[in-house]
Structure 1
Amino acid sequence: MKSLKKFLVILVLPLVAFTAAHKFYVSVTNVNYSEKDKALQITSRVFIDDLDKLLQERYDVKSKLATEEESPLADEYLEKYLRAKFVVEVNGANASYNYIGKKYDADVVIFYIEVPNVDLATLKTIQIENEVLTDLFDEQQNVVHFKVGKDKKSFVLVKSRTKGMLKL
């Protein structure tokens, strides 16, 4: 029994130490079609600390997101970054979108984006290209969930595969 306990400690200790030291780099994006608004409504959840690091590295902005000292430039640079790294295509053509804004929820930023004037009757494909944070973290994974009517599909996008498409 004593040797079994030692064996378990030897087996479990490195696993616990590894998981405590490892950080996951992930974002979650939901793409939903609103029949009422005839629009694609998109929310994307990204860790605050990763965005802080990104704004510092890429734009030399000490953003201090979600604090009382948040930089007045933070919103401007976050939108600029999103427009460069987050692309929506509808029926094979780039779709312009409205950056509605952001809010904080615990340790994440939730971005709100809308693609207006999308007619469900003519909607054939929606493609999301999500390169958010892949330029800073090689391990970054961007999960995208599509829901249009009864059609649902999910993708895990990574640095080497940044696009996911829902065909209707």
Structure 2
Amino acid sequence: MQVLIFIIGLFGADHGLYVSVTNVTYSGNDTWEVSCRLFNTDLEDAIRDFSGESVSLRTDGDIKKSEALVASYIKAKMHFITQQGNELALKWVSGSAENDTVWSYFIVEGTSIDVVENALLVELFSDQENVVAIERDGEKRYLRFNAGVKRLQLE
């Protein structure tokens, strides 16, 4: 995973690599912390296509001004579902800019996550890869999503 983050850091606005990284960590008390990292130019394009509004996501201030649009797009494309089929709500916490990327932070309330859906940016890039790392009780699992795989069940 550290190698993937290093690779993402090497690319600029014309990065040629289409990858998002989402970390999901159980923090206890039926709460999961979710952090999602996307390239800012890709997220700007996705939000424009999704909402019809143009945004700049280059600074923390830009993200603060556009947090409703950022949250709305991510909530539409990424879902966490229980074994009973109930979707767990993503609740926006904050966002930040780092180099050419945007970090978005959410919480999810629920005891377990059994199905993950991730279709971030696949409408823009046919070779988009979305990596989700889920950690609970010291155990970490990695899931890989793309245009052909948008939903995976945890075993």
- Name the TM-score class by shorter chain: 0.7 to 0.9
**Does the 8 Å contact 2:23/2:34 carry over to 1?**
yes
The match for 1:42 among 30, 34, 49 is 34
Q: How many positions carry a matched residue from both structures?
A: 141
AA at the equivalent of 1:63 = V
- Separation in structure 1 between the aligned mates of residue 143 and residue 51 of structure 2, nearest angstrom: 29
Per-residue Cα deviation, 1:95-115 (whole angstroms, up to 9, x for no partner): 122111211111111111111
TM-score by length of 1: 0.74
- Paired position in structure 2 for 1:65: 57
The match for 1:26 among 11, 16, 19 is 19
Structure 2: state its 5+ residue gaps: 1-13
Give percent identity, aligned residues only.
25
**1:5-154 counterparts in 2 under 5 A?**
23-35=16-28, 37-67=29-59, 70=62, 74-91=66-83, 92-116=85-109, 118-119=110-111, 123=112, 125-154=113-142
Larger radius of gyration: 1
Helix, strand or coil at the partner of 1:57: helix
Deviation beyond 4 Å, 4+ runs, structure 1: none
Cα RMSD after superposing both structures: 2.3
- Paired position in structure 1 for 2:152: 164
- Separation in structure 2 between the aligned mates of residue 68 and residue 82 of structure 1, nearest angstrom: 17
**Does the 8 Å contact 2:63/2:95 carry over to 1?**
no
**Does the 8 Å contact 2:63/2:96 carry over to 1?**
no
TM-score by length of 2: 0.79
Shift of 1:94: 1.0
Structure 1: state its 5+ residue gaps: 1-20
AA at the equivalent of 1:25 = Y
- Paired position in structure 1 for 2:10: none
